Amino acid sequence: MHTSIYQTALNTIELEAQSIAGLAAFIDPSFEQAVKVVHGSKGRLVISGIGKSAIVAQKIVATLNSTGTPSLFMHAADAIHGDLGMVQRDDVVMIISKSGESPEIKVLVPLIKNFGNALIGMVGNTDSFLATQSDLVLNTTVSKEACPNNLAPTSSTTAQMVMGDVLAVCLMELNGFSGKDFAKYHPGGNLGKRMYLRAADLYTHNERPHVLPTATLKEVIVEITEKRLGVTAVTDEQNRVVGIITDGDLRRMLEKSNNIQDIKAADILSVHPKTIPPDMLAVDTLDVLRKYDISQLIVAEDEKYLGILHIHDLVKEGII
């Protein structure tokens, strides 16, 4: 490995890590009050910035929206050319800037203050125009950029990103934002699926293999083969679950038996199979499969057979 590349990489990581660690000193009464102001607002949190800080602002907005705090992004340059109209009376405005002295921000800040909205400055210079004009300050000062010229926003934008995450997590706590709430905002993602997808959403897409206890060995083999789930339920005439036969059960039976002519399903089945209700969360079915080291589960309700859930169903949906 090239020594200078190796050392540059390590130095960059170290400087950015320091910028994050340094934020601990800035969790002060102003930060606490800022969290309370956003939490108590009847409006939204409108976040603005210019340059790299604007990109950070967009990420923070996305995080806040997905964790229960309504937020909007407003580019500082666009704000002074018409977009300021998106700011409503009850909104809180947060402006992100390293220097706090950008020309666009110097124009924007007085306009926000004239509107009467609470203004939070996330800023890396506490003596700056933005810091002195803001109602509350989130300090993201860094000692040095990771850039070798100490110019390109690197450590500073990392600090801004982390401060945004800290703000979001504190608001989640105050809002009592739960895993179920998270699932509402992420219904298409794997994390959301783990919170709302149930057995009934999966097993109904599968074949429904079942035989009577009196079924012949041939009928059992055909049922397992045709339904392609590696298993069949054994049910009585009233569709109550009697047992289960897996392809493994068949192999073990064939290894032990010389005379298979008169073998029936009742001779092979495993009694008291693991069953789950249709409303069980898919992620909980995974725990059952892992606990018993099996690949299929019978879905039943009031002892009535409904279908088979296979571990492949969980893989397909991204639960595993």
Residues contributing to the annotated binding site for substrate? 75, 81, 214, 267
309, with CB counted inside 10 A (0-12, 13-18, 19+), is buried
Return binding residues: 75, 81, 214, 267
Q: Distance between CA atoms of 318 and 310, rounded to whole angstroms?
A: 13
**CA torsion, points 86, 89, 91, 94, in degrees to nearest 10?**
80
Return binding residues for Zn(2+): 75
**CA torsion, points 265, 267, 270, 271, in degrees to nearest 10?**
100
Residue 75 pairs in a beta bridge with: 49
